[in-house]
Every structure is written in structure tokens, then in C-alpha cells.
Amino acid sequence: MAEHARRILKIGFFFTLLVAGGCQTAPVANLKPGERPNIETTEAGLWMQADRAEKKIQRSGNLVKHAGINRYVRSIVCRLSPDYCEQIRVYIVDKPGFNASMTPNGMMIVQSGLMLRAQNEAQLAFVLGHEMAHFIRRHTLQRWQTVKDTTGFLTIVSIALGASGLGGASPMVGLMATGGIFANSRDNEREADGLGLAMIVKAGYEPQEASKVWKHLLAERRAMEDADIGQSFFSTHPGSEERMETLSNLAKTIPGAEQAKNTNLTAFIEAVGPHRDHWLERELRLGKLDRTEVVINNLLQQSKDLGVLHFYKGELYRKRNTESDFEKAIEAYSKALTYPDSPPKTHRALGFIYRKRGETNKAHDSLNDYLKLQPRADDHAMIRHYLEQSK
Amino acid sequence: MLRVLAIISTLVFVTGCQTFQETKKSGRISIGEAYSIDPQVSWRRANRDGLEIWTVDGPILQELVFMKAVKDGASLPIKSRQSPENKPRFNSKMSPSEIMEIVIASLDTGKRGQIKATNLRPMKFGKAQGFRFDISWTNEKGLPYSAIVAAAKFDETLELILYKGDSLHHFAKFHDAVEKMLASIQLIKT
Amino acid sequence: MVKDTQTGRWGLSVSLKVAIPKLAATIRSPLLLAAIAVLMAACQHGPLKSNKEIVTPKGPVRILVMPADVTLYEMTTGGLSEPQAAWTKRGKVNVDRALKKVMADNKSKAVFYREPNPDDPNATRQIQVIALQDAVARTILQANYSRRNLGLKEELDYSLGKHAQALVPRGGADYAVFVTLKDSFSSAGRQAAKFMAALIGVRMQNAIQAGLASLVDLRTGEVIWFNVYAKGIGDLREPSGAIDAVKTLLAEFPLWPNTQDEF
């Protein structure tokens, strides 16, 4: 009995220290335009690390340096916020999958996979605005603060439990903590959605486009058989269904919605169109064919770059690699060839399928067509070898 | 600890509890049961089912990888970012062009930028008809890499050799030796 | 009990990685700190030297000091390393001054690396050489300082190749030294937690100072010396602390006469 009482006293002592240590997060004010944190603060430390990460990105082999697309994305950022435009640097990285992030120092990273999935400038602008909201509202600092407090709490509790002889840290404590981190993250996401929407409406973009971003991502997600947790957008931007509905409702009532109608499709296609070939190639390499099919079908709705899109539809069927897929692949490649923007490799792709099916003459013709268009192709020596072989 | 793990996990190919051993003898070395090769220099070799990794200076700097008897339907033993279901798989009906495609897809982990495969051409793999191609990329720190691949299909399996190193120094260091090695390939079965 | 604390930390480190993208890698696991502490239990201790003859030029040796990677952290109650901007700034100034002084005391001239202009034709090459040095350093850590014996070579026989010459500044330099230094200090909450833990006989991880350095011959690109250290004392925020750290880091530096006898 006395032993037990002693344990309780010990726990009490430790928890007093815990409370005294404090685990409240003070509300955080907006970052003002041009504001830099005082060098003594935690925030300054986060900026410092972000600055270093930025130097690294500048050297990365994955950085998209193309002047036109960078200018285009910057122009959207400045349209969304003339105040913060000066201090935001956007880096586009050549990486498939939908993702974007922003660090506390004003560096934004946009993945090419995201630019591939946006159907117009309004949708792209919403995502950029959402990321800017994280920056303006200092969400990274908030989350760091939460994590710091939570881990501190965990440590104290572990010691307390140890002292009390109650055994190791209860799994409940761990769950509580993790929940704490994510709950904060979900609040931040909702806030960023709301602010992002306000920003695009103010800049004249059609607000309903915002919820479409989530709608398409959801469709992609549903197409997948396996739940893709890992480092995908969803792990840090949770709750797509709820967010889609919230945004759709907000879009109806937000002031200024009636006048905001822009999607700027023409400027958007002009900027991203030339890159889609390469971005789709990278996307297909991920091997997530069901998801990529959703992306390609979404893009086909716009009736732009149809040669490239139908070619990649064909590639999709080819990689699925069943008998019925060969028929569909041939159909898609042939359709691609009816458009002026079909890539020369469409002929090669057809040639390979005909070869596989033993249709030697057709294979011959297609591969020759390919070589006529690209006599110095990277694989021309091999193609000529195939042609020799089949004579 | 995390850093050490990060270091070890930069090994391109799945090594598990792999350790390297110095090659003591200087004669021909058999690669699985398919062919033998004249090593030219004293490599450090790590060996297990399906895969051999040879290096002199360390796998981050240069690596000679032998993928042994890759079976129909199997994925390449390269650490890639795709989950097992999505990993590209070898199919015994694949043409050299398609095999090149799955090698690139396996190497495209997100950390290698501007991956380019060029100069796909036929090559004699011992007495068998094989093929080869060149690869280049730049890593996240801006370091360029070069690689060559030589491969051949045997019935239903694939034998593949990949040599990679940084383009500034370590690729060139044994490039000539590797070309001699490829020319020295002798098939074990006829 | 320590295991549970670490599990708590490890578990949260994974969540952190998910919850704070991009920043996680740079904040969560400082490059050397935790790793070096583990590594110190491994086979190799102290500096590595190349077998090759080092021919020092007549007159003062010019050593190109690549930008020292200096970061100072506070270790939080929960064991996280929070980067400190003000301390880091002080530490970097102290380290640069210490390098200059220690080199001058040994009759070498410190030449500080300057970032090239973006239109400098050498700029890309310099970035590549720096990236290669990083790859070589990681390989040396793997080969010589890893807890597990990976069977990689034990001699210091590495080179950046002739492209190392791209680093040579206009005024000339004979060697280049690459330095990384990290220092960490427990917060008040951390110290209190350690005290409480100690009361119940539990050891918690200490804050440490760690450093890594390599010396490259700029003519040939050869890495002629390499060192790693970790210790539980020291303070880069103080000029004297930085001098101590630099002296520890540059132990048995091959360009200077040793104070100890060599056998």
C-alpha cells in the first residue's frame, strides 16, 4: 500500500513538471509580406534549413529549368498574390505523381505530375494558392511546434510510467500523440483549402475548379487496387471526399463567385502542352496503369494534344500486355496517327506490336516509317537490325 | 543511425546482408551457370542468388552488376520505387527495346534525373545474339552518372550486365576493363 | 525503458517524415550527430591517411577551405534536434576564424571558397566535383566507419579525378579541405528529463558534437586524409570551443608536422 502510494506521488511529481513545461501551442499570426523571423527564434532555424534545402534543389538533376514553364507558373503566383509574389520562389521538379509543397522560407516545389493532372489554369492556381496559404499561415512552424510538444510530452510520460512501475509507454500514449500531429495537419489542410479558394476567386478564377482537383484525385485513387500510402499527396493532404464537398459548397457562396469565371485554358495548354509527352512517359514508368488511365482519360476530354494522348493510351494498353490489349493498343496508336502532333515513336510502337503478332509486312512498314522520321533515333541501330532479321 | 542506414540504402541493388569479398584468384569467373568472364582486375564481389555486385572503389562510386537468369515473369533485382505489384517484369517474349524499357523504368526511382537511354544496338554475348545500350542520368546532388548495359536472352531467361559509375572519374576508371570483360564472355552451355 | 523512449521517438520520426514533407530530412536527422555516436562503436577510430607520398610545395601551403557545413542544434525534451539559426551563424563565424588561425599557426594559408557566378563556365563542374566529394565521403564512411564490416577497401585510396582542378581559384590553391561540423545542446526541458530519467536508472541519449573532414590534393584529385569524430563536450558558439573542435578535427593533418612521434 505504501509502495503504491509512493508510485502515485512520483507520477504526480512528473506530471506537474510536464504541465509546468507546457504543451500549449500559441496561436500563430500570418507571415507579413517581406517579413523575416528574428534570428533567435525557432522559426529562423526552420528557415535556415529550408534555405539549405533550396540550395540543394537548385543543383538537383530533377529540376525543370525550362524558362517558359517557369515564367508561366510564376505569373500565376503573382496574380494570386501581388503582395507575396516577390518572396516566393517556385521550383518545378520532373517527377510523376500529384504533389506540391512549400517550405517556411518561401520555396515552393511543384511536381510535374501535378502540372500534368491540372486541366486548366484555375485548377493549377488553386493548388498553388493552397500551398501559399501554408506559407502565409506558417503551418510548418505550427506543426513543428506540435511535434516538439508531443514528443516532449511522450518522453515525460514514458519516464513517469517507468517511474511508476507501470511498465513501458502505453501504446495508447503513442496513438494519442500521432493523432495529435495529424489532427493538426488536417486543420491546416482545411485552412489552406479555404484560403486557396479565396485567393483564386479574388484573382478571377472559376471557384468550382477547386473541388474538381480533389474529385479527379479521388477518381484516380479509386482506380487503384492497392492503397498507396507512402509519400503520396494523400498522406499529408488527407480527407479528399470531405474536402471536395466543402470546396464545392464554399464555391457557391463565396463572395465574388459570380464574376470569377476564368479558367485560362488557352494559355495553360500553350504552357504545359509541349511537356506532356515527357511527363506522361515518366508517369507510365511508375507502373500504376489504372491510375494513369484515369489521368489520360481526363486529359482527352479537353481535345488538345490528341496525338500525344492517344499514343500514350496505346502505350498503356501495350504495358497491360494481354491479348485483347494488343487490339486496343493498335487502335489507339492508329488513332494517334490521324492527328498532326502524333510523335514519330507511334510508328515504332505499332511496328513492335505487329512484330509480336507475326504480321511481318505491317511491322516492316511501320518501322521503316519510324526510321524515315527519325533516322538518328537512339535505337536506330537496333531497329535496322530487326528489319534485317525479318527480311 | 539514420544516416548510416541512409548510406547503406544508397546501394542501387538489393543486397540485404551483403558483404563484399576480395577476388583472390585471377582466372575466369563463372556467372551463375550461363557464362564465364575474364575479370581483368581485382574486384570486390558480393554474391547471392540471382545477383552479383562487383566493385573496386565502392558501389556508390562504381558498380558492376550481374543479373543472373532472370526468369519469365520476374522483376529485375534493382531497388526501385514501385511496389512489388507495379514493378516492371521481364517477359521472355520481350524484344531488346522492351528490355531496355524495363531497365530504365527500374532505375527511374525519382532520385535520378534526366535518365536517357541511347545507342541500343546488337552485340555478341559470347556466341549468342545479345544487345547493349548506354544510360546517363544526374543525381539529386548534381553528380552525373554513366552506365552501360549488355544483355542476352537464353530460352526463357535473361542474363544482364550493368556497369555504372560517376561520369567525372569512376565510370572511366574501369570502362576499358569492362569492355574487355564483355568481349571475353564465354557461354557455358552451348 | 530507454527502448520505449526511443520507440516513441522512432515512431514519431516516421510520422514526422510524413507530416512535414521536405523539411523532415533536414531537421529530423542531422547529418552526422546520431549516426556518428553509433559509428564510434565501430572498427575505425581516428583519421585515415593515404599511403601515397605527400610532396608539400616550398613556401606556405595554400589550402582551399570549402564552405564549412556548420549547424548547431538544440536537443528538445523529446529528443528532437531543432536547428538554431543564431547559434549556427555564430558557430560558422567561429569555425571559419578557427580554420584560418589553426592553418596560419601551421604555416598554411587558408583560401576561402567563393561561389562562382552563374555564368562562370566552371560553375556546373564545380557543383559536380562537390557532389562527387560527397559521394566519396559517404563511401569512406561506409567502408571504414560502419558498424558492420561491408568488406569494402580499408586503405584510403580514393580520388575525385582530374576534374578536381575545377575548384582551383584564380589565386591558386594546392589542396582543398571539406569540413562538416555539428554541435548540439540540451534544452532545459531535456536536461530536466535526463535528470528525472537518471533518478530511475535510465540513460537518455546525450547531445553531442561531431565533425567530418577530408583533404584533397587539387592537382590529382586524390583524397589524402579523412577524419570523423564525435564527443560529448565542446561548444562551437565560443571562439575557443571552435578552435578546440578544429584541432580535434584536423588531427594528424598530413600537411603539418606532427607533435607526436610516428612509428
Confidence (pLDDT) at A153: 84
Rounded CA-CA distance B150/A178 in Å is 48
ipTM: 0.88
C177, C65 in Cβ contact below 8 A? yes
Binned at pLDDT 50, 70 and 90, residue C46 comes out as confident
Q: Which of residues 119-138 of A touch B (CB under 8 A)?
A: none
pLDDT mean over B177-190 = 92
Q: Which of residues 198-257 of A touch C (CB under 8 A)?
A: 231, 235-236
Domain ranges of chain A: 2-253, 273-389
A288 touches chain B (CB under 8 A): yes
C237-256: per-residue pLDDT in tens? 999 999 999 999 998 899 88
Name chain A contacts of C126, Cβ cutoff 8 Å: none
Beta bridge partners of B21: B45
Cβ contact A385–B105 (<8 Å): no
Candidates C7, C128, C146, partner chain B, best to mutate (most B CBs within 10 A): C128
Which of A109, A140, A152 is nearest residue C20 as measured by Cβ atoms? A140
Candidates A60, A89, A155, A185, partner chain C, best to mutate (most C CBs within 10 A): A155
Cβ contact B169–C160 (<8 Å): yes
Q: Give this prediction's pTM.
A: 0.87
Across B20-29, C102-111, C166-175, least confident range: B20-29
* Ramachandran angles phi, psi of B28, nearest 5°: -60, 150
The secondary element (H helix, E strand) that includes residue B130 is: strand B128-138
Distance of CA B80 to the CA centre of its chain: 14
Distance of CA A364 to the CA centre of its chain: 42
Strands B186-187 and B35-37, bridge-based pairing: antiparallel
The rounded percent of chain C whose pLDDT value lies above 70 is: 79
The residue with greater pLDDT, B175 or A187, is B175
- Residue A317 predicted with pLDDT over 70: yes
Chain C neighbours, 3+ Cβ pairs < 8 A? A, B
The residue with greater pLDDT, A25 or A256, is A256
Binned at pLDDT 50, 70 and 90, residue C149 comes out as confident
The secondary element (H helix, E strand) that includes residue B69 is: strand B62-70
Most confident of A70-74, A228-232, C46-50: A70-74
- Here the cell at position C207 is 547531445
- Residue B163 predicted with pLDDT over 50: yes
Binned at pLDDT 50, 70 and 90, residue C5 comes out as very low
Q: How many CB pairs under 8 A join A and B?
A: 76
pLDDT mean over A336-345 = 96
Cβ contact C27–A163 (<8 Å): no
- Residue A319 predicted with pLDDT over 70: yes
Candidates A322, A379, A384, A386, partner chain B, best to mutate (most B CBs within 10 A): A379
Cβ contact A61–B112 (<8 Å): yes
Which of C16, C21, C79 is nearest residue A101 as measured by Cβ atoms? C21
Name chain C contacts of B144, Cβ cutoff 8 Å: 128
Distances (CA, A) of B158 to B44, B68, B188: 24, 7, 15
The residue with greater pLDDT, C25 or A94, is A94
Cβ contact B122–A382 (<8 Å): yes
Mean pLDDT computed over every residue of chain A: 86
Rounded CA-CA distance A309/A346 in Å is 11
A125, A203 in Cβ contact below 8 A? yes
pLDDT mean over A183-201 = 86
Q: Which of residues 322-381 of A touch B (CB under 8 A)?
A: 348, 352, 355-356, 378-379, 381
pLDDT mean over A214-225 = 83
pLDDT mean over A206-211 = 95
Mean pLDDT computed over every residue of chain B: 87
Across A26-40, B92-106, B137-151, least confident range: A26-40
Confidence (pLDDT) at A16: 53
**DSSP label of B43:** -
Amino acid residing at A140: T
Chain B neighbours, 3+ Cβ pairs < 8 A? A, C
- Residue C25 predicted with pLDDT over 80: no
Binned at pLDDT 50, 70 and 90, residue B16 comes out as very low
- Residue A168 predicted with pLDDT over 60: no
Cβ contact C151–B21 (<8 Å): yes
Confidence (pLDDT) at B82: 74
Rounded to a whole number of angstroms, the distance from the CA of A306 to the nearest CA of chain C is 35
Cβ contact A159–C18 (<8 Å): no
Name chain C contacts of A48, Cβ cutoff 8 Å: 83, 85, 88
Strands C175-186 and C69-75, bridge-based pairing: parallel
Cβ contact B4–C131 (<8 Å): no
A267-304: per-residue pLDDT in tens? 999 999 999 999 999 999 998 899 999 999 999 988 88
- Residue A350 predicted with pLDDT over 60: yes
Cβ contact A59–B141 (<8 Å): yes
Helices A289-300 and A208-223: crossing angle in degrees, nearest 10, is 150
Label each residue of A21-72 as H, E or C: HCCCCCCCCCCCCCCCCCCCCHHHHHHHHHHHHHHHHHHCCCECCCHHHHHH
Confidence (pLDDT) at A238: 58
Name chain C contacts of B21, Cβ cutoff 8 Å: 151
- Residue B58 predicted with pLDDT over 70: yes
Name chain A contacts of B120, Cβ cutoff 8 Å: 378-379, 381-382
Which of C128, C139, C153 is nearest residue B168 as measured by Cβ atoms? C128
- The Cβ of residue B118 has, within 10 Å, a number of other Cβ atoms equal to 13
Which of A17, A39, A109 is nearest residue C22 as measured by Cβ atoms? A109
Which of B108, B113, B133 is nearest residue A60 as measured by Cβ atoms? B113
For chain B, the 3-state helix, strand and coil shares in percent, each to the nearest 5, are: 15, 40, 40
CATH superfamily of the domain spanning B2-17+32-187: Mog1/PsbP, alpha/beta/alpha sandwich (3.40.1000.10)
**DSSP label of B68:** E
Rounded to a whole number of angstroms, the distance from the CA of B88 to the nearest CA of chain A is 7
Strands B21-22 and B44-48, bridge-based pairing: antiparallel
- Residue A25 predicted with pLDDT over 90: no
Across A239-248, A279-288, A324-333, C214-223, least confident range: A239-248
Amino acid residing at B90: F
B129 touches chain A (CB under 8 A): no
Confidence (pLDDT) at C261: 39
Confidence (pLDDT) at C262: 39
Domain ranges of chain B: 2-17+32-187
Label each residue of chain A as H, E or C: CHHHHHHHHHHHHHHHHHHHHCCCCCCCCCCCCCCCCCCCCHHHHHHHHHHHHHHHHHHCCCECCCHHHHHHHHHHHHHHCCCCHHHCEEEEECCCCCCEEECCCCEEEEEHHHHHHCCCHHHHHHHHHHHHHHHHCCHHHHHHHHHHHHHHHHHHHHHHHHHHCCCCCCHHHHHHHHHHHHHHHHHHHHHHHHHHHHHHHHCCECCHHHHHHHHHHHHHHHHCCCCCCCCCHHHHCCCHHHHHHHHHHHHHHCCCCCCCCECCHHHHHHHHHHHHHHHHHHHHHCCCHHHHHHHHHHHHCCCCCHHHHHHHHHHHHHHHCCHHHHHHHHHHHHHHHCCCCCCCHHHHHHHHHHHHCCCHHHHHHHHHHHHHHCCCCCCHHHHHHHHHHCC
Mean pLDDT computed over every residue of chain C: 82
Name chain A contacts of B81, Cβ cutoff 8 Å: 286
A50-68: per-residue pLDDT in tens? 999 999 999 999 999 999 9
Candidates C10, C12, C17, C185, partner chain A, best to mutate (most A CBs within 10 A): C12
Binned at pLDDT 50, 70 and 90, residue A226 comes out as low
The rounded percent of chain A whose pLDDT value lies above 70 is: 84
Across A210-214, A309-313, A325-329, C201-205, least confident range: C201-205
Cβ contact B97–A379 (<8 Å): yes
Cβ contact C135–B61 (<8 Å): yes
Which residue, among C182, C160, C183, C164, has the nearest Cα to C174 in the 3D structure?
A: C164
A283, A253 in Cβ contact below 8 A? no
What CATH number is given for A273-389 in this structure?
1.25.40.10
Cβ contact C77–A168 (<8 Å): no
Across A183-187, A208-212, A314-318, least confident range: A183-187
Name chain C contacts of A174, Cβ cutoff 8 Å: 7-8, 11
Confidence (pLDDT) at B109: 83
Query: What residue in C sits closest to A181 (Cα-Cα)?
Result: C19
Cβ contact B168–C136 (<8 Å): no
Confidence (pLDDT) at C51: 82
Binned at pLDDT 50, 70 and 90, residue A8 comes out as low
Residues sharing a CB contact under 8 Å with residue B159, sequence separation 6 or more, in sequence order: B31, B32, B34, B35, B66, B67, B68, B69, B70, B125, B151, B152
DSSP characters over chain C:
-HHHHHHHHHHHHHHHHHHSTTTHHHHHS-SSHHHHHHHTTSS--S-EE-SSPP-PPSSPEEEEEPPPEEEEEEE-TTS-EEE-HHHHHHHHHHHHHHHHHHHHHTTEEEEE--PPPTT-TTHHHHHHHHHHHHHHHHHHHHHHS-SS------S--EE--GGGGGG--TT--SEEEEEEEEEEEE-HHHHHHHHHHHHTT---PPP-EEEEEEEEETTT-EEEEEEEEEES---TTSHHHHHHHHHHHTTT-TTS--SS---
The rounded percent of chain B whose pLDDT value lies above 90 is: 73
Three-state SS for B184?
Answer: coil
- Residue C6 predicted with pLDDT over 70: no
Cβ contact A286–B86 (<8 Å): yes
Rounded CA-CA distance A216/A5 in Å is 59
Confidence (pLDDT) at B25: 61
